[in-house]
Amino acid sequence: MADAQKAIEQLLDDLAVKIMNVEPGDLSAIGELLEIFDSLLGHADMAEQPMMVSMVDALKKVFEGMIMGEYSDSQECFDGLINSITVLQEVERGDDANMGVFCEYLQATGYEIDPAVFGISSEPGSDAEVDTRFLADTEMLMAFIEESTEYLTAIEDSVLELESNPTDAETINSIFRSFHTIKGIAGCTDLDDIARLAHSTENLLDEVRNGRHAMDGEAIDVALAVGDRIGKMVAVVKNVFENGVSEYQKIEVDDLIERVNKVLAGDSGEAAGEDEVLGEPLSTSAEAESGSGQGESPAKLDLGQDGDIPDFLQDADLVAGFVSEAFEHLEAIEVNVLELEQAPDDVDIINNIFRPFHTVKGVSGFLNLTHINKLAHTTENLLDDVRNNKIAMNADIIDIVLGVGDFLRSMVQNISDMLEQGPEAYQFFDISDWVAKVVAVQSGQSLADVELPGKDAPGASDPVPAEKEEKTDSLPDAEQAPEPAKVAPTVAKPSAQVAKTPAPAPAATAPRKKSKIGASIKVDVEKLDGLVNAVGELVIMQAMVRQNPLVTSVSDPKLNKDFTQLSRITSELQKTAMSMRMVPIRQTFQKMTRLVRDLSKKSGKIVDLVMEGEETEIDRNMVDSIYDPLVHMMRNSVDHGVQVSEEREALGKPGKGTVKLAAYHKGGNIIIEIHDDGQGLNTAKIRSKAKERGLIAEGDHPSDHEVNNMIFLPGFSTADKITDVSGRGVGMDVVKKGVEKLRGKVELISTPGEGTQFLMRLPLTLAIIDGIIVRVGQERYIIPTTAIQESMRPRKEHYKTVQGQGETLMVRDSLIPVIRLYHVFDVEGGIEKITDGIVVVIENEGRQRALLVDELLGKQEVVIKSLGGYLKDINGVAGGTILSDGRVGLILDLAGLISASDDIGSPLVAGEHL
């Protein structure tokens, strides 16, 4: 212990001296300093001095930030660091008088300090005071923290901009919007103080943008102060979120609100209304938000009522943001509704559905998308009733929420179309049906009674709001008295929720121990592709330099070591770059939940979908392409595989069928497995069907496995009747084609009576292909390895011609047509005598061919490149790649090659043998 103490002292002295002398560019000195920091940390930890640990850790982070150039004013920052180390030394000696300086410095550097650790927070506040309702919903909270930080930065930038150009309406608007959003999300997250503060500032800005108040120095100061204060509060929230309730620290806002109001009152005579704002801040803010939704607020009404023709397109950026968000939200809704179906009483899930609706409502209202807003709002009301146990959850509600989700999706899709194609793409969506349905279900009618609702409604908008207004007014009253939730059922509800229902309570009292908020940024896909390309080039270039004869002739251990290091770095870089294009397969899987639900409903079967490995990552370009094959396989499993309950029970299986959907990585591939516990394939039936269709030659006896895999052939179906779902023999063909297009393979394993298993093997990425390089004359081509079955030097006795022209090769008892690559591609100098060359047997869409090439050069993973603009659709060429010598090699497209060869024909003249 004492030793550790001594060591710390020593290290601190060391640090203080070294840091005085370090030069900004001196890497080795900086490295040394970092080492000292590290060993300090170690010793402090050993000496069980948590305060020292956190202080040193904080300083180290700041120092690292400094090295990375994160601070603009590095000199000041550096001086601060030196001072802080002095403080550290003092603290070590037991004098923490200057702790404040230390914390101030950390704050100034933007490091989120944890005041409790440094012992400066007066008191964490007694339990009664801790208002931690906001912890009820961690996901929402995370989003809030991330977003608000973004908005705060934006606010600060804009406010500073205003200082030089105080009348710029656009800037004022953008600040206004940012505050408005912060207010909105803070309200939703039950961070009342933040919402109040943001709201009052919003009021001020509203005056400013309406020209009733000048954006003078005082106003700017206040706006900045508010931004800072909110920033602090968000930091506290984040801290609480990460480290537990004990970190809670009350930050007063009333003084600032007062200041804002003073500024506001200063020269506008409208301060009268402000008291109200102070007194009942949340309700007002909520009113502004939900009011916009219902068209109550006159200002919004003007803009909103004629929302038919999209004036919202003015703010294309905002709308585009809304569209992408809305899609995400709608997807989340669907996933959660399906979960809810399994557990209708789970309040958390209902909340998870409620929130996206609420967000969609809020943002659409803000953007004057009145119809979307109205529909989302109505549904939200319904869900609100459900979660307050006013009406029971039932199948009708689930159906209707799913339906609304789908409808909203098409509406959002239309907006997205409009963004791309202009207002002509506008399509009218009549929401009145849905609104009526929702309202009917809410009032307790069953869906069947209202299947064809209020067609008599003259317009889409008229009758509904009236009804709704009544509802929103009456609903919350019964629910709560003290909370300021008069007109704000949606915003204030989460609090009531937490207070009343026991279920989510654990979340509130025991927040996640160390859930880190993963910071993420959105990057343009094109930029990402550019990076991946450049990195690919780097790898090739490095290999080329390394293989340069001049370099290889040098035998310098240092050079070799450096090269090894370089290649390690480049391959690391490549891996990282590649991984950036990867996304978890979760989203695709979740879509299957809905599919299985609909399918099983339709076929009257009870099917449970079990998912595994949703976090397995896959190239984002592949996500869309695997969807179709998956759908068909799922259909096959549910429709053909799993039997109806009675049949299952008769066989001694559980009445509920299970379909397992799993994904995992294996040997550089991603494998997607679909496994049902149904009846398995009827091999005998397939065999007889195949014989009928001449797919099995007379006297041939393929194994069961081979027979089973015949279902992948186009048009093959054993179904006696064609159902709504499947039976046309198209599905499995789609699967195979789709998977082959992705250069993957699909296989089927069936165990009679126990179930069927599909195995889909896909490459991890579309950007890289595993290929065999072959030489023909002076040209080199790459054949995708997945298509290659074998290669050999053909023997004369295996080579047969038909009518002197059609060339075939006997390979393992089957006759395979020969393609002379030099002939199809018109290459000079290729080997013509077939027994001198090599044939590569390839398979494509069930067709086998033997490609005649001169030589196999090796196997290599190559990065696929398009041949650039105009040379896209060449028969037989899938693309190019850059080979290790820097030249371009062409990647063969086998389907195209086969058809090109069919067109061109054989070079042989009848009777002539080569």
In terms of phi and psi (left: phi > 0; alpha: psi -120 to 50; beta: otherwise), the region of 31 is alpha
Pick from 869, 909, 910, 911: which binds another protein (CB under 8 A)?
869
If one asks whether residue 857 binds another protein (CB under 8 A), the answer comes out as no
Q: Does 902 bind another protein (CB under 8 A)?
A: no
Q: Are 625 and 587 a contacting pair, CB within 8 Å?
A: no
CB nearer to another protein: pick between 724 and 826: 826
824 binds another protein (CB under 8 A): yes
Task: Please report whether residue 874 would count as binding another protein according to CB under 8 A.
Answer: yes
Q: Distance between CA 426 and CA 420 in Å, rounded?
A: 11
**Least separation, in Å, of the C-beta of 534 and another protein?**
7
41 binds another protein (CB under 8 A): no
Please report whether residue 865 would count as binding another protein according to CB under 8 A.
yes
Q: How far is the CB of 522 from another protein (least distance, A)?
A: 21
Q: Does 662 bind another protein (CB under 8 A)?
A: no
Distance (Å, whole) CA 651 – CA 645: 10
Residue 531 lies near another protein (rule: CB under 8 A): no
The rounded distance, in Å, linking the Cα atoms of 555 and 542 is: 18
Among 64, 275, 537, 649, binds another protein (CB under 8 A): 537
3-state SS string over 442-453? Answer: HCCCCHHHHCCC
**534 touching another protein, by CB under 8 A:** yes
Q: Is 113 exposed, middle or buried (0-12, 13-18, 19+ CB in 10 A)?
A: buried
Rg (the chain; Cα; Å): 34
Angle at 78 between CA 76 and CA 80, to 5 degrees: 70
Tell me how far apart the alpha carbons of residues 266 and 280 are, in angstroms, rounded to a whole number. 22
Under the binding rule (CB under 8 A), the answer on residue 771 touching another protein is: no
**What residues have CB less than 8 Å from 794, skipping those under 6 apart?**
809, 834, 835, 837, 839, 850
Q: Which is nearer to another protein, 527 or 666 (CB)?
A: 527
Ranges assigned E (strand) in 634-738: 657-666, 669-676
* CA–CA distance, 313 with 641 (Å, rounded to integer): 49
Stretch that binds another protein, among 365-373, 382-390, 686-694, 873-881 (CB under 8 A): 873-881
Nearest to 660 by CA among 762, 761, 764, 759: 759
Residue 805 in tokens: 């022209």
Q: What residues form DSSP beta bridges with 791? A: 840
The conformational region for residue 798 under phi > 0 = left, psi -120 to 50 = alpha, else beta, is alpha
For position 422 contacting another protein by CB under 8 A, the verdict is: no
Choosing from 38, 569, 888, 913, the residue that interacts with another protein (CB under 8 A) is 888
Q: 323, 746, 890, 898: which one contacts another protein (CB under 8 A)? A: 890
Q: Is 568 in the site for another protein (CB under 8 A)?
A: no
Shortest Cβ 877–another protein spacing (Å): 6
Answer yes or no whether residue 494 interacts with another protein by CB under 8 A: no
Among 740, 764, 777, smallest CA distance to 878 is for 740
Asked if 767 contacts 863 with a C-beta cutoff of 8 angstroms, the reply is yes
| Beta carbon nearer to another protein, 536 or 784 | 536
Distances (CA, A) of 841 to 51, 844, 856, 874: 70, 10, 13, 22
Candidates 98, 149, 621, 875; binder of another protein (CB under 8 A) is 875
Q: Is 886 in the site for another protein (CB under 8 A)?
A: yes
> Helix 254-267 vs helix 217-243: angle between axes, to the nearest 10 degrees?
160
Is 356 among the residues that bind another protein (CB under 8 A)? no
CB of 890 to another protein, least distance (A): 7
Stretch that binds another protein, among 66-74, 457-465, 787-795, 880-888 (CB under 8 A): 880-888
Rounded distance between C-alpha atoms, residue 43 and residue 734, angstroms: 63
Cβ-contact 900, 820 below 8 angstroms: no
Task: State which H helix or E strand residue 485 sits in.
Answer: none
- Rounded to a whole number of angstroms, the minimum distance from the CB of residue 827 to another protein is 7
Residue 882 binds to another protein (criterion: CB under 8 A): yes
The stretch near another protein (CB under 8 A) out of 333-341, 350-358, 687-695, 861-869 is: 861-869
Please report whether residue 871 would count as binding another protein according to CB under 8 A: yes
Among 561, 693, 741, 887, binds another protein (CB under 8 A): 887
Q: Indicate the SS3 state at residue 576.
A: helix
**Residue 898 binds another protein (CB under 8 A):** no
- The smaller minimum CB distance to another protein, of residues 676 and 779, is found at 779
Indicate whether 825 belongs to the interface with another protein (CB under 8 A).
Answer: yes
Per rule CB under 8 A, is residue 900 in the interface with another protein? yes
- Packed helices 463-479 and 489-500: angle between N→C axes, nearest 10 degrees: 30
Three-state secondary structure call for residue 210: coil
Q: Are 436 and 337 in contact (CB under 8 A)?
A: no
Rule CB under 8 A: is residue 50 a binding residue for another protein? Answer: no
- Does 827 help bind another protein (rule: CB under 8 A)? yes
Q: Minimum distance from CB of 867 to another protein (Å)?
A: 6
895 in contact with another protein (CB under 8 A): no
790 beta partners: 841
Sheet holding 847-853: strands in order across?
Answer: 788-792, 838-844, 847-853, 814-820, 806-811, 799-802
Q: Any contact of residue 540 with another protein (CB under 8 A)?
A: yes
Q: Between residues 150 and 537, which has the closer beta carbon with respect to another protein?
A: 537
Total of chain residues touching another protein, rule CB under 8 A: 29
Other Cβ atoms closer than 10 A to 452 = 9
Q: Which is nearer to another protein, 693 or 872 (CB)?
A: 872
Nearer to another protein, 313 or 900 (CB): 900
Does residue 884 belong to the site contacting another protein (CB under 8 A)? Answer: no
Contact between 544 and another protein per CB under 8 A: no
User: What is the nearest approach in angstroms of another protein to the Cβ of residue 420?
Assistant: 13
Q: Kindly tell me which of 322 and 825 has the beta carbon lying closer to another protein.
A: 825
The amino acid present at 591, given as its one-letter code, is K
Minimum CB distance to another protein, residue 780 (Å): 8
Token pair 């077939």 is found at 834
For residue 532, the minimal CB distance to another protein (Å) is 11
CB atoms within 10 A of CB 259: 16
Task: Report how far residue 260's alpha carbon sits from residue 283's, in angstroms, rounded to the nearest whole number.
Answer: 19
Residue ranges in 101-130 that form contacts with another protein under rule CB under 8 A: none
When the beta carbons of 476 and 889 are compared against another protein, the nearer one is 889
- List 779, 816, 830, 901, residue binding another protein (CB under 8 A): 779
Supply the minimum distance, in Å, between the C-beta of residue 875 and another protein. 5
Instruction: Using CB under 8 A, pick the residue from 646, 724, 797, 826 that binds another protein.
Output: 826
Q: Which is nearer to another protein, 696 or 878 (CB)?
A: 878
Q: How many other CB atoms are found less than 10 A from the CB of residue 383?
A: 25
Interface residues with another protein (CB under 8 A) are 533-534, 536-537, 540, 779, 824-827, 865-871, 874-877, 880, 882, 886-890, 900
